[in-house]
Amino acid sequence: MTTFCPELEARLCRYAAIDSQSDESSPAQPSTPIQFDMLRLMEAELREIGAKDVRLTEYGTVLATIPGNRPGPTIGFLAHVDTAPQFNATGVKPRVIRGWNGGDITFPDAPGLTLSPRDFPYLAEKQGHDLITASGTTLLGADDKAGIAIIMTAARHLLANPDLPRPEIRIAFTPDEEIGRGVDPRLPADMACAFAYTFDGGAVGEVEYESFSADAATVTVTGVSIHPGWAKGKMVNALHLAAKIIDTLPQATLTPETTDGREGFIHVYDLQGSSAEAVLRFILRDFERDGLAAKGALLQQVCAAIAATEPRAQITCTIRPQYRNMRYWLENDMTPVDLARRAARRQGLEPVSVPIRGGTDGSRLTEMGLPCPNLFTGMQNVAKTPGRADERPLPPPLALSRAGLLRPRLGRRAAPRYRRRPVGRNRPRPDGHSARRGPATAPQPP
């Protein structure tokens, strides 16, 4: 039987009850004012536990330092305060199931809704563990309140035990990760560390250093608009051409619903417009640069082919980069990954590295010169699309074993040879990434 560290459990439940959802449609930074409820609370609590250099930046990130007492590279810990915008996040009522008996989990606020270990093999392994879930009508927000709770619990423990050996540790709690706007261009320099970890992963033992490489594409179709009554031989309907583009693209392959593991995809996720003009929005994903470029080329080819069928229409296809696979940089120096793996083994866990079918704040940080793998928190089943027979959102349970608690050993044997990378080597891009993490069923990276 595995129970939670009481402090970790209390923190997670308290933070999860605070609505701090982000909003993609808002141009503000952070996107929603409610994220300040979490940011200001973190700022106050970090001060309260004795962290140094605590500040809330103008770009909405809380920074703090845990002073070191041993030489070694400064290490960063990051988690995000926002929760996914896809579901109701107001009125979250976390509840703890003690020593789960392995049967179907029901929800106090949603009679009829069940979470069955038959549907979730990872959950099935957790019989006897304590679990935390939402009450049935909201998300739990363990993504990433679990990461915040883990870092805060470890920080308090380290600050209360100043003799525990550690290098300097920098903490950052960022906003808007869920909408791909969590990494401000100033963040890598403000972190001032040699490498960092996001605590934003799932299954216990995961040490992730591969994410998708991601582009976004916008296709604009301009037709010829004319009164339908006088349209014969003159009208060119932009919606028909947009439909042809979608229809010509692969559907039985190269889509999110037909790919898994290390396969990439072309995903059309939005179509808006009229017979006069239509705009299609795509995301392109692949783990390799070549594969990503090929998907962009295919989309452009299809647009050109449809444009050739109707010279009076205008079709433009604009592709812009979002984020890149962090492996490109981390494989040159696996020190941060190796340290995390060693720390996991010391806790009796076998580290697993699965490629993330999405991106993290660490993808952008790594690209910007701050190496940043992603570590597990124990959260599961986050931001699941409502699609079950009962068509209700599935509350994300959190199967966080005791081993999910960060033991403050992570920095203990930091490799002294490690040199800090130059920050800002790659210019940050103004666009964010919209990253969703897929199930942890992908094969191991090579």
Report, as residue numbers or ranges, the catalytic residues. 82, 177
Q: C-beta of 92: minimal distance to Zn ion in Å?
A: 16
Q: Which is nearer to Zn ion, 45 or 143 (CB)?
A: 143
Per-residue 3-state assignment (H helix, E strand, C coil) for 82-149? CECCCCCCCCCCCEEECCCCCCCEECCCCCCCEECCCCCHHHHCCCCECEEECCCCCCCCHHHHHHHH
- Binding mask 63-102 vs Zn ion (x if CB under 5 A, - otherwise)? ----------------------------------------
Window 120-159: residues binding Zn ion (CB under 5 A): 143-144
Q: C-beta of 194: minimal distance to Zn ion in Å?
A: 23
Bond preceding residue 30 cis, omega within 30 of 0: yes
Q: Which is nearer to Zn ion, 275 or 434 (CB)?
A: 434
For residue 152, give the DSSP letter: H
Distance (Å) of CA 360 to CA 183, 195, 356? 10, 15, 9
45 touching Zn ion, by CB under 5 A = no
200 touching Zn ion, by CB under 5 A = yes
For residue 206, give the DSSP letter: B
Sign of the CA dihedral running 76, 327, 362, 197 = negative
Window 211-250: residues binding Zn ion (CB under 5 A): none
Closest CA to 299 of 287, 284, 321, 310: 284
Q: C-beta of 362: minimal distance to Zn ion in Å?
A: 10
Distance (Å) of CA 283 to CA 119, 215, 296, 386? 29, 6, 10, 21
- Beta pairing partners, 397: none
Q: C-beta of 67: minimal distance to Zn ion in Å?
A: 28
Q: Which is nearer to Zn ion, 361 or 367 (CB)?
A: 361
Question: Is the distance from CB of 139 to CB of 82 less than 8 angstroms?
Answer: no
Stretch that binds Zn ion, among 68-76, 124-132, 199-207, 427-435 (CB under 5 A): 199-207
Stretch that binds Zn ion, among 193-201, 241-249, 266-274, 404-412 (CB under 5 A): 193-201
Strands 207-208 and 374-376, by their bridges, are antiparallel
Q: C-beta of 442: minimal distance to Zn ion in Å?
A: 17
Site of tokens 């697993």: 352
Q: Which is nearer to Zn ion, 110 or 148 (CB)?
A: 148
Q: Which is nearer to Zn ion, 70 or 436 (CB)?
A: 436
Stretch that binds Zn ion, among 109-117, 200-208, 254-262, 393-401 (CB under 5 A): 200-208
Tell me the helices (H) and strands (E) count for the chain, helix number first: 10, 15
Phi, psi of 95, deg, nearest 5:
-135, 145
Q: C-beta of 357: minimal distance to Zn ion in Å?
A: 14
Q: Which is nearer to Zn ion, 143 or 367 (CB)?
A: 143
361 touching Zn ion, by CB under 5 A = no
Binding site for Zn ion (CB under 5 A): 143-144, 200
